[in-house]
Structure 1
């Protein structure tokens, strides 16, 4: 009896000890999850600030041209500087994340990005403007590269939805910033006056103060709209630009993000110290066997890289020159142009969210073809809307283009990994470098054609790029499916020959 009581008391003791251990483990797991969530929140704020800053370039480009006093062809070098910075940032960001303190890397990146944003409206020379946009490109690419790797490291197999949420945070920032920037853009002012095109003496008409440092003579020579006989004239000028306010908001967001990193580090320590030593088991699908030869793997990789190049150039050029085209060619107000940019980013975000659901019902190949064809169709609709002067159709086409572009960045990588070859970090870097190199030159060409030939080249280039992308995707998908059928038939024939030989 006494022995039974002893054994019972021992069982109760071990049971209570086990329960206490389970409770302590749960508390530890909850604390670790809370720490990871707070750390992820910091990442999302940084990405939100990056999206905010990225989307400011297009709507504020006309005001940046006023600040640096350059034409559109010259100002287009801003996109090249940003792309070149992105090329360096993709390499530097991954290297710094692997070699140095990870929290320190994030803090340094967001501080430099905020500092470069604060300096942008005060760069009155083209060289200075190119430098700050180059630094932004470095910071943006470094941040996105490090954040993507960080999500995979911190959340492991749960990182998929969070990566999508991170991209959505970037799009939310891109949607809001054009709306915030619109009230601070320089207003267009038109006033009557007289103008003699070949006489250095201007009319005695004195315009009101317009908040600009250029003389009336220079402005009339540049922007006068001459009527018949060059007598009655309307002179167009721009008011004072206040774009330093939205750019200062970007700096504030970056500063807040850096402060959050430091505060969480002080109170909770490094998030990487709380990660489980034993990594979660990853389930890899070995059922899929790559059947392509080495040469064909290289061919399909180059095809997809070319399609991705066309896509990234199409997206950046469309949103980068949209405001300039609508204001210069379509005579829209800057307020309407800012709303149009937001419409693009809204439909872009909706398409990205819907893609998470759609991919459960249709294949990746079908999704790539559907969305790329939607993008190409939107470009054609935009051309028809401009030709026939249908404003409602123009708004619709901008939304269609944004929706069509939404999922085309990630899907080709997934398709390549599933069907052609393993997508390593090195391979992803090669893709990104390929896209950046192409993106450095094409916007300059588009800006030159818009400035020197016709503003309509904005639409023509969008059509060429989107249809080129669509055609490349079709060729890659159809070729792969044909080769897959041939491979299955040859495998089936080999099996039949083997069975006949055994019999």
Structure 2
């Protein structure tokens, strides 16, 4: 019993000594001239980081452009919220199919095709004029993104082995950076739509002009009608400038797909770095492996669902509920993803001196505290800005830390990663769709539904993690 207790304490507490060596070993591995695969692994890591940058842009661009997409297909935001369901359904399908495929096919070839499909899908989205066609296209894009999410996490673990921790943080930092850049491109760079349905010069002037022209002659009325049609076309073009962001993202993804094609043609290695054996030299297997994997999938369901919901609806919430201007709402959206990205960047270094469990606990405390304040002060501008920054920082490290935390107790395989991604995709599908449905109810619009959902998610994840910890600590 004493031996079991000592081993248990070493697993729970001595991991800090191991992770402190992780960053130094990671840097030294790239400098070894006698390791022919080191350069290839670094090139793969950089390409994967670029692909996750594009993945983050694809995920977050939907929030600030949701209103324009709804107008583009002649729907309102409540009626178009099911595109989240379509994208997440494709995400789930891509994850389930991609998991087995990555075990039997070249990962660079699969990732290259997935990036190519995502690129063409993003470029085609602004041309969708029917809601059903838009949903189908979102599902196809979701399939490609599911391939990328599953394959990227598995490939990082495969090529770096026991030294994958800091690389995993860097991978998800790239996702957060893309999620931060996307709203800036969509609304602050291209967005010029002010949400006004009136014609330039005022509706009364146009009406008076039409009346006088109709009174003068029929031919003059025809000319004025043509001018009004041209004005409407001009307004339509002016209103959808934010959709140009989809072309920018698509062009970036095309370049990344070319990079994967180059890696495939060069025969880049996909095996782990055998020069870095496991520090403990043990094959860890938790007693409740299946239960841990399933509970972590449920944990990611609420976490990722809350993350995507907040990032997608905070722009609309700030405009409609808090009464912010469009530029301020876009800035608030960018602040959330900005603090999210910055904290994930710092987490690369935190992972070298802090246990994953400690990082998760701090994140859950910050999420619960900030979401509670957002519910209590839902219309306060200062509370929105400060708590959004805190909430974004608190959400940042949960997903990569969750994978690193589980790896301390049991082996994380490709199938396990597929389960995590499916759980995350289900949360991304269900929570935004439920919120969009509730926002369409007039009697519920007086409540801060976005903030209430975030508080519920933070509470549930705070309960789930101690349960998982108890199962993982079982001898």
Which residue in the other structure is 1:248 paired with?
Answer: 247
Q: 1:28 to 1:303 in 2, by over 3 A?
A: closer
Q: Which moved more, 1:97-106 or 1:337-346?
A: 97-106
Which residue in the other structure is 2:415 paired with?
Answer: 426
Aligned partners of 1:447 and 1:238: how far apart in 2? 27
Q: 1:378 to 1:252 in 2, by over 3 A?
A: same
Q: How does 1:193-272 map to 2 (within 5 A)?
A: 212=232, 240-263=239-262, 269-272=266-269
Q: 1:239 to 1:210 in 2, by over 3 A?
A: farther
Q: Which moved more, 1:410-419 or 1:441-450?
A: 410-419
Deviation, 1:156, is 3.7
Deviation, 1:60, is 0.6
Deviation, 1:415, is 3.3
Maintained 8 Å contact 1:210/1:238: no
Deviation, 1:301, is 5.0
Deviation, 1:429, is 2.4
Which residue in the other structure is 2:330 paired with?
Answer: 338
Q: 1:369 to 1:156 in 2, by over 3 A?
A: closer
TM-score by length of 1: 0.73
Which residue in the other structure is 1:76 paired with?
Answer: 81
Which residue in the other structure is 1:444 paired with?
Answer: 433
Maintained 8 Å contact 2:341/2:396: yes
Deviation, 1:57, is 0.8
* In the alignment, structure 1 residue 188 sits paired with structure 2 residue 178: no
Deviation, 1:137, is 1.3
Aligned partners of 2:260 and 2:286: how far apart in 1? 46
Residue aligned with 1:415, SS: helix
Q: Which moved more, 1:96-105 or 1:58-67?
A: 96-105
Maintained 8 Å contact 1:193/1:205: no
> Larger relative contact order (C-alpha < 8 A, sep ≥ 6)?
2
Which residue in the other structure is 1:392 paired with?
Answer: 382
Which residue in the other structure is 1:282 paired with?
Answer: 277
Could you give the per-residue CA deviations for residues 140-172 of structure 1, whole angstroms, max 9, x where no partner exists?
Answer: 121122222323333444433222222212221
Aligned partners of 1:115 and 1:400: how far apart in 2? 36
Residue aligned with 1:69, SS: coil
Aligned partners of 1:155 and 1:476: how far apart in 2? 26
Which residue in the other structure is 1:401 paired with?
Answer: 391
Q: 1:108 to 1:208 in 2, by over 3 A?
A: same
Please identify the structure whose Cα radius of gyration is greater.
1
Q: CA RMSD in A?
A: 3.5
Could you give the per-residue CA deviations for residues 408-463 of structure 1, whole angstroms, max 9, x where no partner exists?
Answer: 113334334434x4433333323332343344333222111112143421222222
| Unaligned residue ranges in structure 2 (runs of 5+) | 1-30, 211-226
Which residue in the other structure is 2:4 paired with?
Answer: none
Residue aligned with 2:322, SS: coil
1:141 to 146, 160, 163: 146
Deviation, 1:247, is 0.8
Deviation, 1:108, is 1.2
* In the alignment, structure 1 residue 86 sits paired with structure 2 residue 107: no
Residue aligned with 1:187, SS: coil
Aligned partners of 2:263 and 2:147: how far apart in 1? 22
Deviation, 1:469, is 1.8
Deviation, 1:284, is 5.9
Maintained 8 Å contact 1:312/1:439: yes
Could you give the per-residue CA deviations for residues 266-316 of structure 1, whole angstroms, max 9, x where no partner exists?
Answer: 6xx22139x79x944632636798785x5xx66555544333221121111
